[in-house]
């Protein structure tokens, strides 16, 4: 019996990029003046918010301190406070824009805990909907993202701008 194949060629840039990246993308991206290209949604005093280029779900963002630290115990009170304030802010923004039924949020500290970039602490916020998981990740190691990331970025950025004006 022939085995079926599911081609996920869109993953190749990620696979090859992971090995090729020099330095720290979480340190480098905010230094560039390319917020749209880098998917940066918000710049705070000690932290910034960026969309995950390889999301678990539509609207998957990360809140990241500018300072290069790998452990939450190394954050200052200001950094910790701003991360939580941004988490609350983006839960509100994503609720308004995307109407999710729930959220996952968390920090994977260290590679064995699942951190893809273990040297620079970051917090994930993932909107969730009933039925948003299916057989694809289990059988095909492929996630189905229903909206292009640049479209989601535009919607979220507009909402961020509107909320900041208030």
Domain boundaries, the chain: 24-165
Choice between 116 and 10, residue whose per-residue pLDDT is larger: 116
Is the pLDDT at 145 greater than 70? The verdict is no
Fold of 24-165: HIT family, subunit A (3.30.428)
What is the model's pTM? Answer: 0.80
H-state helical runs in the chain:
12-20, 25-28, 35-38, 77-98, 135, 149-165
Q: Which of 66-75, 93-102, 133-142, 144-153 has the lowest mean pLDDT?
A: 133-142
* 23 Cβ contact list (under 8 Å, min separation 6): none
Whether 56 and 142 have beta carbons less than 8 Å apart is answered as no
Nearest residue to 117 (alpha-carbon basis) of 53, 20, 24? 24
Question: Among 2-16, 52-66, 139-153, which is the least confidently predicted range?
Answer: 2-16
**Cα 119 to Cα 115: distance, rounded to the nearest angstrom:** 9
Of 143 and 51, the structure prediction assigns the larger pLDDT to: 51
Per-residue pLDDT for 139 more than 50? no
43 Cα distance to chain centroid: 14
Cα dist. 94→51, 63, 88 in Å?
12, 14, 10
Instruction: For the chain, give the mean pLDDT.
Output: 85
Say whether 122 is catalytic. Answer: yes
Q: Which of 111, 128, 162 is nearest to 55 (CA)?
A: 128
Mean pLDDT of 2-24: 61
d(CA 145, CA 88) in angstroms, rounded, equals: 24
At 166 the pLDDT is 59
Task: Choose the catalytic residue: 42, 60, 120, 122.
Answer: 122
């Amino acid at each position: 019996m022939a085995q079926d194949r599911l081609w996920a060629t869109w993953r190749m840039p990620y696979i090859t990029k992971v090995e090729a990246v020099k330095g720290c993308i979480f340190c480098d991206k905010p230094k560039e003046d390319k917020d749209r290209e880098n998917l940066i949604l918000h710049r705070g005093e000690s932290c910034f918010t960026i969309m995950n280029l390889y999301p678990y779900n539509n609207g998957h963002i990360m809140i990241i301190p500018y300072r290069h630290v790998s452990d939450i115990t190394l954050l200052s009170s200001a950094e910790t406070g701003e991360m939580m304030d941004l988490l609350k802010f983006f839960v509100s923004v994503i609720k308004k824009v995307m109407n999710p039924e729930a959220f996952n949020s968390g920090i994977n500290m260290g590679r064995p805990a699942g951190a893809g970039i273990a040297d620079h602490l970051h917090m994930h916020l993932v909107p969730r909907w009933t039925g948003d998981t299916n057989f694809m990740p289990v059988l095909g190691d492929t996630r189905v993202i229903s909206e292009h990331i640049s479209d989601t970025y535009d919607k979220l950025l507009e909402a961020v701008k509107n909320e900041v004006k208030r």
